[in-house]
Amino acid sequence: MPHVIVKMHPGRSEEKKRQLADAIVKDVASIAGCSEDAVSLAIEEIPPGRWDEEVHKPDILGREESLYKRPRRPSPGGMSTHHTS
């Protein structure tokens, strides 16, 4: 059934990652109509210096058709940017 991959910057404790995973699994199971036992979840920590190449370009810009939530990212001048379709 559903498999969720969360990619985020390193720095959160194992407890925070468990809390995040538990909350996501609970919501996915509820909304997808399956048991929590059917949901798997992985957390991948990506350092900030590798974020654009490993996440933003391939998973966000490269998958616009399957992206349900677009991030607000700070621009080089510090202002946030938001792209809508």
Query: Catalytic residue numbers?
Result: 2
Contacts of 47 (CB under 8 A, 6+ apart): 9, 10
**H or E stretch at 7:** strand 3-8
User: From CA 26, how far away is CA 51, in angstroms rounded?
Assistant: 27
